[in-house]
Amino acid sequence: MRRERITITIKPSILKKLDEVIDGKTIRNRSHAIEKILEEYFQSKIDTAVILAGGQGKQLRPYTWEVPKPLLPVKGKPILQYTLESLKRAGIRKVYICIGYLGEKIKREFKNGKELGLKIKYVEEKEPLLTGGALKLLEKKLSLPFILVYGDILTNLDFEELIDFHLQNNAVGTVALSLSDHPELYGLISIRGIKLTRFYGKSKEKIKSAIVNAGIYVFNPEIFTYFPKKKKFYLEDVLKELIDKDLLIGYLFDAQWFDVGTRETYEKAIKTFQPYQG
């Protein structure tokens, strides 16, 4: 592996501590110690998330005639607020929210994120770009691993555990997976161990698996090298390519999960969702 030579100055007290971790086997010398410490530091940090919140929510009308899906209330809070609070607990500090339909209302609700202890920036779609096109707008801003969450997802998933799982495994991306009684309505997934083997999308095929794509991901920035050159495209099409290349893994969780895309799932979430009790 190619390395570059650098010159640094370090306080004697810190250098003494550095020398204490050198054992001649796993850590060979000072240079190796510094590299390992820096590698561990950067690999343990994911502080950025992207939320795709530009959908029109046509299947949720009349609720969404005047309210964007991410602001629909559940137990007294907008759906999106639960996601933002969960991300904050997992160590996320920077959030990009991709907005479109009624996006100004989302901006007015969360502003710059200061009240939630976050730094929120907004990326506006001038026209619907689909899930892949919306994420592509942020390509130049995402140079480190990041979380991606769809704006109509409601869950009490522990995002920190998802992040740890991704960092412990060598893959371009990790797809959070849930179980559904009606998997044909969602992005159906087949998995072997932790490796994803096929992505069916919404399918009428008779498939025994009940595992579905939860609309929550952790990606390395390498994901963008697999994006097509066109402006509008679905992220799910990129996922199919990455699965074929054996570059995606799955994280199956058993926390509550709702894809609030229809009136039925929204009403079920209102009745049964159990918010985090910290």
Whole-number pLDDT of residue 43: 54
Query: Of the candidates 224, 235, 57, which has an alpha carbon nearest to the alpha carbon of residue 145?
Result: 224
The token pair at 26 is: 């796993």
**C-alpha angle 209-211-217 in degrees, rounded to nearest 5:** 150
Rank 150-159, 175-184, 268-277 by mean pLDDT and report only the highest: 150-159
Which residue type is seen at 142?
L
The token pair at 165 is: 């799982």
DSSP lists the bridge partners of residue 257 as 155
pLDDT in tens, 71-82: 999 999 999 999
**Percentage, residues of the chain above pLDDT 90:** 55
Asked if 67 contacts 146 with a C-beta cutoff of 8 angstroms, the reply is: no
Q: Find the mean pLDDT for residues 209-215.
A: 84
pLDDT band at 24 (very low <50, low <70, confident <90, very high): confident
CATH code 3.40.50.300 for 44-272:
no
pTM for the model: 0.81
The position carrying tokens 């590698």 is 39
Is residue 94 pLDDT above 70, yes or no?
yes
The position carrying tokens 């480190």 is 144
pLDDT in tens, 52-74: 998 877 777 887 788 889 999 99
pLDDT in tens, 102-124: 889 999 999 999 999 999 999 99
Whole-number pLDDT of residue 17: 84
DSSP lists the bridge partners of residue 199 as 189
Q: Find the mean pLDDT for residues 227-252.
A: 93
The token pair at 213 is: 């794509």
The whole-angstrom separation of Cα 254 and Cα 163 is 16
The token pair at 57 is: 């929510």
Is residue 188 pLDDT above 90, yes or no?
no
